[in-house]
Amino acid sequence: MSNKRKAVALISGGLDSLLAAKVIQEQGVHVEGINFFTGFCVEGHTHAIRKKDKAKPKRNNALWVAEQLNMKLHIIDVIDEYKSVLFNPKHGYGANMNPCLDCKVFMVSKAKQWAEENGFDFIITGEVVGQRPMSQRKDTMPVISRESGADDLLMRPLCAKNLPETLPEREGWVNRDELFDFSGRTRKPQMALAEQYGFKDYATPAGGCCFLTDKSYSEKLVDLWKYRGSKEYELDDIMLLKVGRHIRPGGDYKLIVAREEGESRFLQGYKKGFTWLQVMSHGGPLTLVEGKIKEEELPFAASLVARFSQGRDADKVTVKCVRDGEETIFDVKPLPPYEIPEAWYV
């Protein structure tokens, strides 16, 4: 049996984790990747839903990285466990609803648990000191090591020389001299290293790796919690926040209006559990009603939905509404745009 040391690498799909794993592979360590699916990950979803994005080639970047490195990738569903990270992050949120520091602690601790269960010796990440304002600072990096319980089993090959020695370095499994001392927000050293290894066409995500760093997405999530009265969510809720226009004319309900054919088709899959509206007399998007809508509010919702149909300038538009399996037909005049205040858009 080989006595090759084994490392598990947190793979986000970006350049840094690709390089970190490669640097350690180059030192003769067996590396496998691990990628966590929180439900908020950017990977592919909007491309899969929106028709206009279909022309662009779509790939899962974490899988792409694994293939470049000829290593296995384990994708772990952490949707439910992640809720506790997001509900009440000990270290707070970043610029939007992104709890990056707690998120990193959580992911490293999960990786540590996985490493123990699968006989791996240490954990690596692509973190770089000073790269991100919240989770990748000189003072927060030890917090991740400590609070995840990984301590000196956690190594960041791209900036290891700026950090205290870790166990794999002390034990000689990894040669510290061949690690790096990258720091700060510049991407130049990473790009040079990628060039040296011959990596091209790697992903360069702006912002972060998940929807929680997105302002408009975060506002929709906060709105959802506010009107539900609690920070609860299911996977379907957070998926629906990625789709359509969200319009809240009243406190108790919100309309999710598809913006194009691909979104309408995606929302079709949710018709069963929701009240929904569809313009019949003209082309128009499928609309789901999220929350509690009163019977007497339905004609108004129909006129709002009509506004987003091809009959927006017509005098009369026919809208079908299905609620608890019961169908009602409304003939309405579309709401003029000036009667839809900006503030209704979530």
Partner 1 sequence: MSKISLDLRGLLCPLPVIRVQDKIKTLESGDQLEVTCTDPGVMHDIPTWCRINGHSVLSSSRSDYEFVLNLQVGGADRG
Q: Which of 207, 250 has the CB closer to ligand SF4?
A: 207
Cβ atoms of 42 and 158 closer than 8 Å: no
When asked if residue 265 is in the footprint of partner 1 (CB under 8 A), the reply is yes
Cβ atoms of 32 and 72 closer than 8 Å: yes
Residue 277, SS3 per DSSP? strand
Shortest CB 99 distance to ligand SF4, Å: 6
When asked if residue 50 is in the footprint of partner 1 (CB under 8 A), the reply is no
Query: Which entry of ligand SF4, partner 1, none binds 47, CB below 5 to 8 A by partner kind?
Result: partner 1
User: Could you say which of 98, 166, 278, 318 contacts ligand SF4 (CB under 6 A)?
Assistant: 98
User: Could you say which of 9, 15, 69, 103 contacts ligand SF4 (CB under 6 A)?
Assistant: 103
- Give the DSSP letter string of 291-340: E---GGGHHHHHHHHHHTSTTTTSS-EEEEEEETTEEEEEEEPPPPGGGS
| Spatial separation of the C-alpha atoms in residues 270 and 33, rounded to whole Å | 34
Q: Which residue is nearest to ligand SF4 (CB)?
A: 208
User: Could you say which of 14, 99, 126, 284 contacts ligand SF4 (CB under 6 A)?
Assistant: 99
Count of Cβ atoms closer than 10 Å to residue 22 Cβ: 21
Which ranges of the chain does DSSP label H, i.e. alpha helix? 15-25, 45-49, 61-69, 79-87, 100-118, 141-148, 167-170, 188-197, 215-228, 235-240, 261-268, 298-307
Shortest CB 253 distance to partner 1, Å: 24
For ligand SF4, the binding residues in 207-246 under the rule CB under 6 A are 208-210, 212-213
Q: Which of 45, 161 has the CB closer to ligand SF4?
A: 45
Residues 175-214 as x/- pattern, contact with partner 1 by CB under 8 A: ----------------------------------------
Name the token pair of 199: 């990596």
Could you tell me which of 181, 119, 115, 123 has the C-alpha nearest to residue 151?
123
For partner 1, the binding residues in 107-126 under the rule CB under 8 A are none
Query: Which residues lie across from 257 on neighbouring strands?
Result: 245, 287
Q: Which of 19, 62 has the CB closer to partner 1?
A: 62
Could you tell me which of 194, 183, 140, 177 has the C-alpha nearest to residue 159?
183
When asked if residue 35 is in the footprint of ligand SF4 (CB under 6 A), the reply is no
For ligand SF4, the binding residues in 133-152 under the rule CB under 6 A are 135
Name the token pair of 235: 């996977």
Q: Which of 215, 271 has the CB closer to partner 1?
A: 271
Segment interacting with partner 1 (CB under 8 A) among 63-71, 146-154, 317-325, 329-337 = 63-71
| Spatial separation of the C-alpha atoms in residues 222 and 140, rounded to whole Å | 26
Q: Which of 101, 203 has the CB closer to partner 1?
A: 203
Residue type, 205: P
Binding site for partner 1 (CB under 8 A): 35, 37, 41, 43-45, 47-49, 54, 58-60, 62-64, 66-67, 70-77, 239, 265, 269
Binding site for ligand SF4 (CB under 6 A): 98-100, 103-104, 135, 208-210, 212-213
